[in-house]
């Protein structure tokens, strides 16, 4: 039997131990290293070149999971990257898949789901939790409601409470353009005010 080498990336030690304990029950998994940050993950991948990287998206400080995935992909590693996170926000799912994640699991997934996802990942199969899949499906059905990259960027800044003027300065665009983007964002989110947009963004899109 071929063993599958795994790198765990999560800023919470408890989660890493839990995952390690779970994977330890299976004969074909071998957790070769653990990282608590994106930066550390890059190093450890270099050192151990694991077959699979299981990665959280929300990482306290520094590089977040998405950036780490992107960085790993750019160094053309052959690792299969599996997202393992608490939230299933639309934006995160799309960005993670876009960045090159092979699968997307939620932290309340059952052990079997986790095992299957990892085994599938090394074989090039894409596995995701049911809620995640249904969200992706939803987006495919309603492409009109998908934010463009620029809009998502703006929405993200919006949730920090910036004014149109400030948004323009941050993004190096005029206030007029900010307003245009906002109008599109409101339409796509189905809201009419910036307040509602922020509320929706933080709750539904998971932008915190």
Partner DNA sequence: TGGTCTCTCAGCCTTTTGGCTGATGCTGCT
Partner DNA sequence: AGCAGCATCAGCCAAAAGGCTGAGAGACCA
Provide, rounded to whole angstroms, the least separation between the CB of residue 187 and DNA.
Answer: 8
Residue 89 C-beta-side C-alpha neighbours within 13 Å: 19
Per-residue contact string for residues 5-44; x = within reach of its own copies by CB under 8 A: ------xxxxxxxxxxxx----------------------
Altogether, the residues listed in the chain come to a count of: 208
Among 48, 73, 150, 170, binds DNA (CB under 7 A): 150
Q: Does the footprint of its own copies cover residue 156 (CB under 8 A)?
A: no
| Number of chain residues interacting with DNA (CB under 7 A) | 25
SS (H, E, C) 82-108: EEEECCCCHHHHHHHHHHCCCEEEECC
Provide, rounded to whole angstroms, the least separation between the CB of residue 75 and its own copies.
Answer: 27
72 within 8 A of 42, measured Cβ to Cβ: yes
Residue 21 partner contact from its own copies, DNA, none using kind-dependent CB cut-offs of 5 to 8 Å: its own copies
Indicate the residue among 47 and 111 with the shorter CB distance to its own copies: 111
Residue list 1-60, contact with DNA (CB under 7 A): none
Q: Does the footprint of DNA cover residue 148 (CB under 7 A)?
A: yes
Count CB neighbours of 142 within 10 A: 10
Query: Which stretch, 43-51, 92-100, 110-118, 148-156, contacts DNA (CB under 7 A)?
Result: 148-156
Rounded Cα distance between 176 and 157, Å, is: 16
φ/ψ of residue 31, rounded to 5:
-75, 105
Q: Does the footprint of its own copies cover residue 202 (CB under 8 A)?
A: yes
SS (H, E, C) 7-63: EEECCCHHHHHHHHHHHHCCCCEEEEEEECCHHHHHHHHHHHCCCEEEECCCCCCCC
Q: Which residues contribute to the site for DNA (CB under 7 A)?
A: 148-151, 163-165, 168, 171-177, 179-183, 186, 192-195
Q: Which residues contribute to the site for its own copies (CB under 8 A)?
A: 11-22, 60, 86, 107-108, 110-111, 158-163, 191, 193-200, 202-203, 208
């Amino acid at each position: 039997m071929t063993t599958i080498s795994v790198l765990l990336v999560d800023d919470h030690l408890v989660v890493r131990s839990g995952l390690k304990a779970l994977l330890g029950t299976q004969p074909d998994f071998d957790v070769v290293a653990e990282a608590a940050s994106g930066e550390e993950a890059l190093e450890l991948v270099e050192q151990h070149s694991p077959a699979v990287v299981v990665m959280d998206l929300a990482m306290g400080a520094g590089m977040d999971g998405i950036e780490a995935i992107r960085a790993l992909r750019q160094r053309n590693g052959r690792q299969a990257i599996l997202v393992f996170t608490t939230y299933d926000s639309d934006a995160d799912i799309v960005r993670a898949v876009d960045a090159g994640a092979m699968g997307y699991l939620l932290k309340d997934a059952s052990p079997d789901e986790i095992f299957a996802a990892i085994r599938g990942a090394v074989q090039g199969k894409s596995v995701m939790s049911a809620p995640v899949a249904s969200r992706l499906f939803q987006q495919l059905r309603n492409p009109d409601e998908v934010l463009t990259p620029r809009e998502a960027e703006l929405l993200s800044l919006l949730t920090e409470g910036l004014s149109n003027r400030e948004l323009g300065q941050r993004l190096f665009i005029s206030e007029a353009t900010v307003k245009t983007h906002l109008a599109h964002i409101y339409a796509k989110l189905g809201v009419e005010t910036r307040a509602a947009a922020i509320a929706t963004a933080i709750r539904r899109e998971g932008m915190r």
